[in-house]
Amino acid sequence: MSKKRVLSGIQPSGRLHIGNLVGALQNWVRLQDQYECYYFIADWHALTTRYDDTSRIKEFIKDVLVNCLAAGLDPEKATVFLQSHVLEHAELHVLLSMITPLGWLERVPTYKEKQEQITDKDLNTYGFLGYPLLQSADILVYRADYVPVGVDQVPHLEITREICRRFNNFYGETFPEPEALLTEFPKVPGTDGRKMSKSYNNCIFLSDSPQEVEHKIKTMMTDPQRIKRTDKGDPEKSPVYHLHKIFSSREEQDRIVEGCVTAGIGCIDCKKVLIKNLFAVLEPIWERRRYFMERPDTLEDIISAGSKKAGEISSETMKQVRQAMNLDGLK
Ligand code: TRP
């Protein structure tokens, strides 16, 4: 029996942080042994909100790629590629745009939300409205079975399934209906207790040095009501504890809670344990990052080979699509 196909993408819109690591990359790595996986860097998607300044896009693409490899993606197992290297995504996108009612795109909740959130840019663009449709093309062009994403992406998967059905209705069964592969991830708090996000300036980046990570943890917020060392604390109110939940063993978490509620340990002690455990996860990543950062040719080879392999699948799909739509020549 052939393996089911998995596809997912990530935008190169900034440096990746430990939220991306536990929310996406580690999951991608787990899936690579079980499924036929395609993972790509969605550089065209990054342009939907950053069309006015592309000066850092190469740096961010490289950062995403290096972090994927550093987190354990193995190009021998999973196909890792760059969206803009596989032109079939664009061809399918234009064909799907013909059958997509505007209202479907206008009704995607992320459309209005993001437009309201991002106020420093004009997002009344054709490309931004089409964001979910480009995503649909990304998925359908590989005839993917599963799409591992966070809950925030569910509306995009829904519209992909609707477009898929509409296409199959008009032109005959061409695409399987993809399913979201929702994995429950703990929310990763940033250093200020809010969700870790580059727009909040509260991130621990995978590209941070050990010294920077240590400094960020040491100056991180804890339970605001625990002011003196002798005050008893409430771990639930401390983002440091929420990071322990992700990076520390059960036993260590229990000891941290006990120490906090009894004032048996101070916030510095608690942070030292977190630093130790976080370093245990990050050290092998830092080592592999160093390895790949020094080998730009290897990176180039990986992305070209991956894009070529992705192109084989997507061009096969496009042959079928053109046939289904009678766009396969004169005869
Ligand atoms: N929209 C996704 C995100 O922001 C990135 C993405 C683009 C994607 N194309 C995709 C994810 C296709 C899964 C499948 O996270």
Give ∠ CA 143-58-312 in degrees, rounded to 5.
25
149 close to ligand 1 (CB < 6 Angstrom): yes
Mean pLDDT, rounded, for 51-77: 97
Q: What percentage of the chain carries pLDDT values higher than 70? A: 100
Q: What's the CATH number for 208-290?
A: 1.10.240.10
Give me the pLDDT at residue 123, please: 93
What's the 160 CA to ligand 1 centre distance in angstroms? 11
Give me the pLDDT at residue 119, please: 87
User: Is 236 a residue whose pLDDT tops 80?
Assistant: yes
SS3 206: coil
SS3 205: strand
What's the chain's average pLDDT? 96
pLDDT per position as a tens digit, 153-197: 999 999 999 999 999 999 999 999 999 999 777 789 999 999 999
Cα separations in angstroms, 233 against 166, 271, 300: 56, 14, 50
What's the 264 CA to ligand 1 centre distance in angstroms? 45
What's the 54 CA to ligand 1 centre distance in angstroms? 19
Is position 77 annotated as part of the catalytic site?
A: no
Q: Which of 58, 112, 187, 195 is catalytic?
A: 195
The residue to mutate among 135, 151, 181, 314, having the most atoms of ligand 1 within 8 angstroms of its beta carbon, is 135
79-82 sheet: strands from edge to edge: 79-82, 36-41, 5-10, 146-149, 179-182
- Six token digits for residue 271: 């942070």
Report the top-level CATH class of 5-188+296-324. Answer: alpha beta
Which helix (H) or strand (E) is 166 found in, with range?
Answer: helix 154-171
8 Å CB contact between 140 and 88: no
Q: Which of 198, 216, 272, 309 is catalytic?
A: 198
pLDDT per position as a tens digit, 87-140: 999 999 999 999 999 999 999 999 999 899 888 899 999 999 999 999 999 999
Give me the pLDDT at residue 47, please: 97
49 close to ligand 1 (CB < 6 Angstrom): no
Ligand 1 atom nearest 156 alpha carbon: 1
Mean pLDDT, rounded, for 60-71: 98
- Six token digits for residue 58: 């190469």
Q: Cα-flanking dihedrals φ and ψ of residue 177, to 5°?
A: -80, 120
User: Is 1 a residue whose pLDDT tops 80?
Assistant: no
For CA atoms 303, 309, 313, 315, give the dihedral sign: positive
Give me the pLDDT at residue 183, please: 77
153 close to ligand 1 (CB < 6 Angstrom): yes
Q: Domain residues of the chain, as ranges?
A: 5-188+296-324, 208-290
User: Is 258 a residue whose pLDDT tops 90?
Assistant: yes
Greatest CA separation for the chain: 84
Give me the pLDDT at residue 232, please: 96
What's the 258 CA to ligand 1 centre distance in angstroms? 41
What's the 135 CA to ligand 1 centre distance in angstroms? 6
pLDDT per position as a tens digit, 143-154: 999 999 999 999
Protein residue closest via CA to atom 9 of ligand 1: 135
Q: Cα-flanking dihedrals φ and ψ of residue 238, to 5°?
A: -110, 120
